[in-house]
Amino acid sequence: MIDSISMHRRRFLEGALALSGALLFPARRSLAAASAGLSPQATDAIANSPLIYLSPIRSDGQESACQAEVWFGSDGEELFVVTAEDGWKSQSIKKGLDKARIWVGDFGPWKRSEDRYKSAPNFLANAAFVAKDDAATISRVLAIMGKKYPKEWGKWGPRFDKGLADGSRVMLRYRPATA
């Protein structure tokens, strides 16, 4: 009986200690981000930045000359972008260039940033199209983007909806690449 009480007390104390540690030192990164190997700086930047800068990775492993700042939606470890179907982001993936470098931060238009965005937290990502018939993902991501960009969404939300429906726009998914 005494051993049973000691065991319950020990479990209680271990649980209380674990809970107090979690409250005092909350995790800064989600399990998904940690498993993808994102730095804490990249994870924080994704949560707080209105922009990402991205560049496809060419077949020789170098960053493409095509680079831009873009709006994005994040859902766990995945980042999503809506772009023109015939634009370079989409065409890169169609050509098999399914890797991209992503920098996270807000440095204004990339051409005027004087490459300052290249000092931002960054990572390599695998790029893919979100299937046009994946209505659940498209709806979820557009809702995320609507909350992220409330001032602009009255104008851009309907444009994204219409373009995704008629095929003039596509949704791209970027997942942090694992080693």
> Could you report the per-residue pLDDT of 21-65, keeping only the tens digit for each?
433 344 333 334 443 568 888 888 899 899 888 889 988 887 777
**pTM over the 0.85 mark:** no
* CATH code at 31-176: 2.30.110.10
Task: Give the residue extent of every domain in the chain.
Answer: 31-176
Half-sphere exposure of 123 (CA within 13 A, CB side): 25
